[in-house]
Amino acid sequence: MDGQLLAGKVALITGAASGIGASTAKLMAHHGARVALADVDLKGVAENAAAIAENGGQALAVEADVRDGQCVAEMVKRTVERFGRLDCCVNNAGIDGSASPLHEYTEENWRDVLEVNLTGVWLCLKHEISYMLEQGVTGSIVNTASAAGLVGLPLGVSGYVASKHGVVGLTRAAALEYVRQGIRVNAICPGAVRTPMLDDAITSGMTTEAELSSMQPIGRLAAPREVAEAAVWLCADASSFVTGQALAVDGGWTVQ
């Protein structure tokens, strides 16, 4: 993508301390957006915000836990106070949880994964959309689901798969509820992406890089920037007729 696709826009990205979120924030800044980076890892988002500023962009680092509605509301408020508006959001924060067969999957693990991956996205939507409606701002929101939100996985991650399917359904419902108010809501569904979370899964023995690469007809893992490019396009005016979609960025995984 060339040019300033997001010039004049303000973007909020959760889970922006590393991986897809960090790459998305930096790419959005490159395309002219002023960006708020939110994460429970304040050090991580502060470092990424500083890197954006060093490259001539404007960035705000916010410590935020998407499981906490009050915290999410404050995250949106701080973004608007700093930059004056909110045009784009990428609700990206997520965890994979501990891997185990479904019958051994603990209630605590289930709750943790659903609380971050699904309730967290719902809370972000709730407060982002509330602001957009109150201020009369049209906008675009992108939720990070997963290829595991479109198909199943035999890797002992039933909570993760359920949560990501939930994100896709939530995206479609929100898109229909707010399309007439000028708010677009879409999801991206990445396949296997080289991120710290995926590295942890490989290190733990949950899976291997070779296994994940073989699932994707393209034959390799994605780089975070390849997913970020999709999020930027969905936030840009170039995708103005696109809403309610679950865009697979998965090297062909889910079309097999």
Residue 89 β-bridge partners: 12, 141
Q: Out of 105, 131, 160, 178, which one is annotated catalytic?
A: 160
Q: Give the tokens for residue 125.
A: 């939507």
Q: Give the tokens for residue 124.
A: 């972000």
Active site residue 160: yes
Residue with tokens 């929100």: 174
The DSSP code for 149 is G
203-211 contacts: CB < 8 A, separation 24 or more?
204/99, 206/99, 206/155, 206/156, 206/157, 207/155
The residue type found at 92 is N
Q: In what order do the strands lie in the sheet with 139-144?
A: 59-63, 34-39, 10-14, 88-91, 139-144, 183-190, 246-249
Is the separation of the CB atoms in 12 and 38 below 8 Å? yes
Active site residues: 160
